[in-house]
Structure 1
Amino acid sequence: MVTFKQLAGASALLAAVCVPVAAAQPAVPVAQVTDAALVRKLPGFRNGKALANGVNLHYVIGGQGPALVLLPGWPETWWEWHKLMPALAQHHTVIAVDLRGMGGSDKPAGGYDKKTLAADIHALVQQLGYEQADIVGHDIGSMVAFSFAANYPQATRRLVMVDVAHPDAALAKWPLLPEAGTFSDKLDENHPYVWWFAFHQVKGLPEDLLADGRIGLEQAWMFRYLMQDESKLDALDRAVYRHAYSSRDAIRAGDAWYQAFPQDILDDSNYAPLAMPVLAVGGPGYGWLKSTLASKSTHHRVVKIADSGHFIPEEQPQQLLNHLSEFLD
């Protein structure tokens, strides 16, 4: 039987190991990771905030032309799109949004199913004066982008999904355990193991484990596991994401996107196939996108990004930009 003294000793050892790892992260002053500081790095863009569908949403907007909405994923913020935003703004009004629960947006107790998140974005697009927009999403943002198109087809000119499909009945059957010999600290694309989908279902415990700066430990592992080239995220990028998810509220809200998957699966069963043009861009998620969209869209194309892990907007921005420019223009 494990005694309390042994547990206390293990806790002390964990603290001794974790503190140096967290401290080893490059020091970036908090003043450099605020939205005000970040937007200054993108000439022609500005921060905005709007009450949409009952929540205050933070967004960054710039450029001119048709509306192009960029939706980020976990564990990132609008900043994940910064390498593409200046080029996209040459022909579009680019609107990069922090989803409900993310970054500078509100983090209410509920409303994290993708249908509600899509309603948030639709209300924001209308409030900004657009009846229709191109919708681009990555990761959780890709799920929201699909839901936007499914629920507001008249407002969706074109849809782009990056590396993640919307939850459907097949997701509920993903394995809890990895296949023998396939799991390491680098993703095996043929045998993906997404253990955090289950971890984030637990309410309260992730906040206890990861608040007060320890979220950086999980993020560092995720970036190592899911990226082919970690150097594509520099010290500033990592500090932005670490700061954005450091509070208990931010961790709770991020987990809530995953806790809503069962509801998302129910909602998905009621969606008709999409009729608008759809582009799906995949790294490790290429096969997932291809198999899912086969029955979800009548007019789609799925492409594979070479030499990239999951974080395509930061790992291979030029390849992604080429596909976006060809598809959207």
Structure 2
Amino acid sequence: MPDLMLNGCRLHYTDQGQGPAVLLIHGLGSSGRDWEHQLPALLPHYRVLTLDMRGHGASDKPPRGYSIKAFAEDCRAFIEQMQLERPHIVGISMGGMIAFQLATDHPQIPGSLTIINSGPELIPRRPAEYAMVAKRLFFAHVLPLPTVAHGLARLLLPKPEQAELRAIFEQRWKENDRRAYLASLRALIGWGVSKRLDRINCPVLVVSGDRDYTPVEKKREYVSLLGDARLAVVEDSGHATPVDQPEAFNRLLLDFLASCRQPAVTES
């Protein structure tokens, strides 16, 4: 599998298929492997690229340099190096934050955005939100990484019939570098681009699991601030929608990407 040196860091990526480019950006503690349920649906129609962000997967784990802006700049450098023209950007959770940062910093780059169970900021504003953030940071820093991985797997994939998936993802999360994982987690807290959403000038699909951490209504609020944007809610889905409801998610994504390829109809 190929690697690139970008911004002083060796980043691992995959590049498959032909057609319009689709860049898949994973979430915190994950990697490009987590898009395995989307590749069979996308590859007949698109050139599909995955990128392991710094500190994740098979990419380097430098001691510093972790921020959403830095992740987005790594994506920008990757897009330029690979000579991708207006790629469709798909990001889940932390990957959605990276996509928002990229689209607000460099609005000329994305052909479209698909944001999955994410948002344009992670700034606690209410007592309950402060408590949730504090709890997440506390347990991540105190508990051993295998314990964190086990808890996350149970939270994201709780059903008995998801036992095999749960075991796979628990093992993947155990493989994280603890220092890089914690640095990436801290990078999320206090980040936000909500005041710059008017810079986004491409179509946006926001996908929410009906049981995601963040209520659907919160996503509806920021979708209303975007121009060409729509919200799709996937039933019986938590935070890991592309994994727990891959068929429903893939249909939404393919329909959206196809609509982005259609020329606009103008009235005569």
* Interval containing the TM-score (normalised by the shorter chain): 0.7 to 0.9
1:189 matched to which residue of 2?
A: none
1:135 matched to which residue of 2?
A: 89
Change (3 A) 1:262 1:224: closer
1:231 pairs with 2:231: no
2:56 matched to which residue of 1?
A: 102
2:252 matched to which residue of 1?
A: 323
Query: Which amino acid counterpart does residue 42 of structure 2 have in structure 1?
Result: L
Contact residue 273 and residue 298 of structure 1 kept, 8 A? no
Residue 204 of structure 2, aligned match among 254, 267, 278: 278
Residue 37 of structure 2, aligned match among 62, 80, 83: 83
Q: Equivalent residue of 1:238, what SS?
A: helix
State how far apart, in whole Å, the 1-side matches of 2:164 and 2:28 are. 17
State how far apart, in whole Å, the 1-side matches of 2:250 and 2:50 are. 15
1:173 pairs with 2:126: yes
Query: Which amino acid counterpart does residue 261 of structure 1 have in structure 2?
Result: L
State how far apart, in whole Å, the 2-side matches of 1:150 and 1:219 are. 32
The aligned runs of 1:101-250 (5 Å cut-off) are 101-167=55-121, 169=123, 171-173=124-126, 175=128, 193=132, 196-199=135-138, 205-206=141-142, 209-210=143-144, 215-229=145-159, 230-231=162-163, 233-243=165-175, 245=176, 250=177
State how far apart, in whole Å, the 2-side matches of 1:216 and 1:255 are. 14
TM-score, normalised relative to structure 2:
0.85
State how far apart, in whole Å, the 2-side matches of 1:271 and 1:304 are. 21
Deviations 1:214-255 (A, max 9, x none): x22212212222335343615344323322x1xxxx222122
* Alpha-carbon offset, residue 321 of structure 1: 0.3
Change (3 A) 1:322 1:156: same
- Between the two proteins, the alignment pairs up a number of residues equal to 252
State how far apart, in whole Å, the 2-side matches of 1:114 and 1:121 are. 11
Query: Which amino acid counterpart does residue 71 of structure 2 have in structure 1?
Result: L
Q: Considering only aligned residues, what root-mean-square deviation do their CA atoms show, in Å?
A: 2.3
1:68 matched to which residue of 2?
A: 22
Report sequence identity in percent.
Answer: 29
State how far apart, in whole Å, the 2-side matches of 1:173 and 1:54 are. 38
Which structure is larger by alpha-carbon Rg, 1 or 2? Answer: 1
Query: Which amino acid counterpart does residue 276 of structure 1 have in structure 2?
Result: C
Q: Equivalent residue of 1:233, what SS?
A: helix
Q: Equivalent residue of 2:198, what SS?
A: coil
Change (3 A) 1:308 1:262: closer
Contact residue 228 and residue 307 of structure 1 kept, 8 A? no
Deviations 1:271-309 (A, max 9, x none): 5342211001001133332223332x1111111111111
State how far apart, in whole Å, the 2-side matches of 1:60 and 1:83 are. 15
Query: Which amino acid counterpart does residue 254 of structure 2 have in structure 1?
Result: S
Contact residue 157 and residue 166 of structure 2 kept, 8 A? no
* Alpha-carbon offset, residue 168 of structure 1: 5.1
Residue 257 of structure 1, aligned match among 172, 175, 184: 184
1:51 matched to which residue of 2?
A: 5
Change (3 A) 1:288 1:75: farther
* Alpha-carbon offset, residue 116 of structure 1: 1.4
Worse-matched range after superposition: 51-60 or 151-160: 51-60
Residue 236 of structure 2, aligned match among 279, 283, 307: 307
